[in-house]
Amino acid sequence: MGTGTYVIRGGVEGRERLRLLSEVMGPSTRALLAEVGIPAGSICLDVGCGGGDVTFELARAAGPSGRVIGVDLDETKLDIARREAGQHGLSNISFEAWDVVEWEPGGLFDVIYARFLLTHLPNPGALVSALRRHTRPGGVIIVEDIDYRGHFAEPDCRALARAVEFYTKSVQARGADPHIGPRLPRLLRESGLEDVQMRLVHPAGLHGGVKLLICVTLENIADTILAIASPPRRSSGRRSKSSMPSHVILTPCSADRASSKRGVVTGGRGRWEKIGGWDGLPDVRVRTSKTDGEHRVPTESHLTKGQFSNSLSRNAPLTLAV
Ligand SMILES: C[S@@+](CC[C@H](N)C(=O)[O-])C[C@H]1O[C@@H](n2cnc3c(N)ncnc32)[C@H](O)[C@@H]1O
């Protein structure tokens, strides 16, 4: 199954990123579910469930007399979720691989939940309407989603601004909306839902997962950035225009992932610009990928600061260091 319009790397790496996301969002999500109230015995649906972190919460709340289905298009994440559901002793849960854009669930649900899914869909209103049709009278739809403009650093940080720009352009290039948050009440009302309510949650912190998430997200959209930066050739042989740089990113992060010494280096056409964060990093692992005809072949090397400029002059197309 393909990845639809989803811009973030899937599979095991994508699942690991979602653990970090859940570390950041877990407390507010649990508070929201408690506030809404998931009665025991509820039949629940978690659309775009990823690795199932919230599906597990719903299954615990619904209890043995309830049932939860998690749906996602990423079969690797779903396999991991099935295994972990067993480890948590949750037998009232099942996971199904579907593209939600094409999926028509069988039956009605008491609770339908979606976190950070609508932002990835070109037509989120169509899905909300479909979900409403599958909500039992008196049931509830719970949506958590993002406004990517909310990122901030004090003092301002160019690396952060660049990372936000890359993410924003990646999602927009797939026709979706990285700023969907404020649109949610209208989308829900337009689908015919009543009694729509809204809360604003803004995770912030001085260290830990909330700061790391943007770096890990940047690492995990590298493939999308490259794809957008190097659009396929037209029949004329010319590449179509792209607003993204032709070479992508390095995110030098110190070996200690919790360290604040982070930065982003961007480059294009042999000119590379350091935005910040390099100083004091003893060793940087750089993952590049070369193209051998059709395939991207990942390579990895360790660089010191001195070696770094040499490697850049070779115009290594990509990315990422830890
Ligand atoms: C940002 S993740 C959020 C995962 C989960 N809701 C959570 O909060 O941990 C978005 C998830 O939606 C899935 N997804 C994106 N587009 C989808 C589609 N069209 N159909 C099904 N799943 C989709 C992705 O595979 C990914 O697992």
Q: pLDDT, tens digit, for every residue of 275-288?
A: 333 333 333 444 44
Ligand 1 pocket test, candidate residues 1, 5, 6, most atoms within 8 A of CB? 6
- Interatomic CA distance for residues 81 and 198, integer angstroms: 29
Sign, Cα dihedral of 231, 235, 238, 242: negative
Q: Is 21 in the pocket of ligand 1 (CB under 6 A)?
A: yes
Residue 203 — pLDDT band, cuts 50, 70, 90? very high
Residue whose tokens read 């026709």: 175
- DSSP E strand boundaries for 193-280: 249-250, 265-268, 271-274
The token pair that represents 18 in the structure block: 């979602």
Q: Which residue has the higher pLDDT, 234 or 204?
A: 204
Residue 164 pLDDT exceeds 50 = yes
Return the SS3 of 255.
coil
The rounded Å distance from CA 176 to ligand 1 centre is: 13
The predicted model gives 142-150 an average pLDDT of: 98
Full set of structural domains in the chain with CATH: 11-145+180-190 (3.40.50.150), 148-176+206-231+242-322 (no CATH)
Residue 17 Cα distances to 59, 99, 222, angstroms:
22, 20, 14
The whole-model pTM stands at 0.78
The more confident residue out of 218 and 261 is 218
Per residue in 51-103, pLDDT (tens digit) is: 999 999 999 999 999 999 999 999 999 999 999 999 999 999 999 999 999 98
Sheet arrangement for strand 271-274: 249-250, 265-268, 271-274
Between 161 and 291, the higher pLDDT residue: 161
For tokens 């350091």, what's the residue?
274
Q: Is residue 4 in contact with ligand 1, taking CB distance under 6 Å?
A: yes
